[in-house]
């Protein structure tokens, strides 16, 4: 398993994916009672997961883990593409927060919490960055902040340029100039967002802070909100949004562009859409 873990890391998979694959594989080995696996074991395990009521996404992730293990072992036919369960492509559940909700959330953070946490929220909602990407930002990343772009090291160690709009830039510049120096580790840490307990903030800390201000809002929700907001307003097309969010596939980006039902009803009832 240790060698398999090293293999996954060498393929550029994220830490979360590696941990998920190792966990899935451990459950599979427990089911088969052996590490010497064959295709009939895969079929039996898939049927077992279906009988347990697992959804298609969970089953497909387990199959992906087994397939990676097969590649690692040279068993390239252990799991084939046809073994995966086809999922009807659809949009995710609509965003459950509105612009008013987000504005109220940001006001609450700014008034009652630290400016640091407010700055983090503003960055996510204006750029669509992942919380891990925000907390990994270092001071040298903003050496040329006036350009309106920053280079991000994203998921799978993929580098991309992300646009930071004027509003987010103003908030960030204020934080860097006036607020960051108040933290204990500010002088010795290269990270933009620091705490009094460590040189780098833990994502769980921000998750907890956000929940205190609005239980419905968490960092990844703000990423979804950003994508839906800029897409529905026509500020970015899908290809541009793909680049900003850092996804290699367009169909992945579409999961972030939740259709707003009120907007759909309004648009389809407009004069331009009516033919009678």
Task: Express each pLDDT in 7-51 by its tens digit.
Answer: 999 988 888 899 999 999 999 999 998 878 889 999 999 999 988
Active-site annotation holder among 116, 169, 180, 247: 247
* Choice among 70-84, 93-107, 180-194 with the minimum mean pLDDT: 93-107
The answer to whether residue 255 is catalytic is no
Active site residue 107: no
Q: What's the pLDDT score for residue 126?
A: 93
Residue 93 or residue 132, greater confidence = 132
Told to judge if 223 belongs to the known catalytic residues of this protein, a careful annotator would answer: yes
Task: Supply the DSSP symbol for 179.
Answer: I
Residue 155 appears among annotated catalytic residues: yes
Report in angstroms the alpha-carbon separations of 133 from 15, 203, 263.
13, 10, 31
Instruction: Report the share of the chain in percent with pLDDT over 70.
Output: 86
Residue with token string 């690692």: 72
Per-residue pLDDT reduced to its tens digit, 97-115: 889 999 999 999 999 999 9
Told to judge if 239 belongs to the known catalytic residues of this protein, a careful annotator would answer: no
> Given pLDDT bands bounded at 50, 70 and 90, which one contains residue 53?
confident
State which H helix or E strand residue 149 sits in.
strand 149-153
Q: What is the pLDDT of residue 232?
A: 82
Catalytic residue of the set 130, 169, 180, 224: 130
pTM: 0.63
- Give the least confident one: 47-51, 173-177, 202-206, 271-275: 271-275
The answer, yes or no, to whether residue 172 has pLDDT greater than 50, is yes
pLDDT tier at 199, thresholds 50, 70, 90:
confident
56-68 pLDDT, tens digit per residue, is 888 999 999 999 9
Active site residue 181: no
Give the pLDDT band (50/70/90) at residue 266.
low
Nearest Cα to Cα of residue 99 among 225, 223, 196, 265: 225
Reported confidence tier of residue 233, pLDDT bands at 50, 70, 90:
confident
* Active-site residue, from 46, 61, 67, 155: 155
pLDDT of residue 44: 92
* Residue of 67, 169, 223, 258 marked active site: 223
**Long-range CB contacts (< 8 A, 24+ apart) of 173-176?**
173/145, 174/115, 174/119, 175/115, 175/116, 175/119, 176/139, 176/142
Categorize the per-residue pLDDT at 91 as very low, low, confident or very high, splitting at 50, 70 and 90.
very low
Q: Chain-wide mean pLDDT for the chain? A: 85
């Amino acid at each position: 398993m240790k060698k398999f873990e090293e293999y996954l890391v060498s393929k550029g998979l994220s830490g979360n994916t590696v941990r998920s694959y190792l966990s899935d594989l451990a459950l599979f080995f427990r089911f088969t009672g052996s590490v010497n696996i064959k295709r009939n074991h895969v079929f039996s395990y898939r049927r077992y997961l279906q009988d347990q009521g697992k959804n298609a996404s969970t089953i497909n992730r387990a199959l992906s883990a087994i397939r990676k293990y097969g590649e690692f072992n040279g068993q390239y036919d252990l799991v084939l593409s046809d073994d995966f369960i086809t999922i009807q492509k659809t949009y995710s559940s609509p965003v459950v927060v509105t612009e008013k909700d987000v504005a109220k959330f940001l006001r609450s953070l700014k008034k009652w919490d630290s400016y640091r946490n407010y700055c983090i929220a503003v960055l996510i909602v204006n750029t669509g960055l992942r919380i891990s990407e925000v907390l990994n930002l270092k001071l040298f990343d903003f050496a040329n902040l006036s350009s309106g772009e920053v280079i991000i090291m994203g998921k799978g160690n993929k580098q991309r340029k992300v646009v930071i709009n004027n509003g987010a830039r103003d908030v960030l510049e204020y934080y860097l100039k006036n607020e960051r120096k108040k933290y204990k580790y500010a002088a010795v840490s290269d990270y933009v967002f620091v705490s009094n307990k460590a040189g780098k903030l833990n994502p769980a800390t921000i998750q907890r802070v956000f929940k205190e201000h609005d239980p419905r809002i968490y960092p990844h929700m703000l990423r979804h909100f950003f994508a839906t907001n800029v897409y529905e307003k026509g500020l970015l097309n899908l290809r541009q949004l793909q680049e900003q969010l850092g996804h290699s596939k367009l169909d992945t980006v579409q999961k972030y562009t939740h259709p707003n039902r009120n907007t759909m009803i309004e648009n389809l009832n407009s004069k331009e859409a009516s033919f009678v």
